[in-house]
Amino acid sequence: MTTLILRISGNTQQRGMTLIEILVAIVVLSIGLLGLAGLQLKGLQVNQGSIYRSQAAMLAEDIADRIRADATNAAAYVLPTPTVTGTGATAAAIAEWKQQLKMLPGAGATIAGPIGPANNQMTITVSWLDTRANSGAGSSATTSSFILTTELWD
């Protein structure tokens, strides 16, 4: 048996990758990683905004429950300026709630009521400054609000 060995002169087989292919791969990988970093940043912004909305909802429900518990002095809970003064316990409840309200950045609140056909509804608005809502250089804070209209009693 005879074996035929063929030799080709010159280097025609490619071994490994060229420098240009490596640079292109690094650029593509870098763009992907920058996109992931931007996505992570936007996720953090949305998460912080949802925490603020959740706190505002809890605060609005809290003051609504306080008003329901002190129904005889409901008109004293009207904010920013109550039209009627309540008892010392009412003033203490409002002061404590305003203190809790400070956990939101730039927080403010208005309470309107009693309103409605039976004078048993109040509208509670909790607002705050959301600095992360707008992204980009030079963007200013956005005022976000949570509005709760609730019946105080049957």
Residue 80, in any domain of the structure: yes
User: H/E element holding 88?
Assistant: helix 88-101
**Burial letters for 125-134: b for 16+ Cβ neighbours within 10 Å, e otherwise?**
bbbbbbebbe
Confidence category of residue 26, pLDDT binned at 50, 70, 90 = very high
* Single-letter amino acid code for the residue at 104: L
Interhelix angle for 19-69 vs 88-101, to 10°?
180
pLDDT per residue as tens digits for the range 60-90: 999 999 988 888 888 888 888 776 677 888 8
Work out how many domains the chain is built from and give that number: 1
Residue 5, in any domain of the structure: no
| pLDDT at residue 49, as a whole number | 84
For 134, the 3-state DSSP assignment is coil
Phi and psi, residue 26, nearest 5°: -65, -40
| pLDDT at residue 149, as a whole number | 85
pTM, entire model? 0.68
Residue range(s) defining the domain that contains residue 64: 19-151
Residue 77, in any domain of the structure: yes
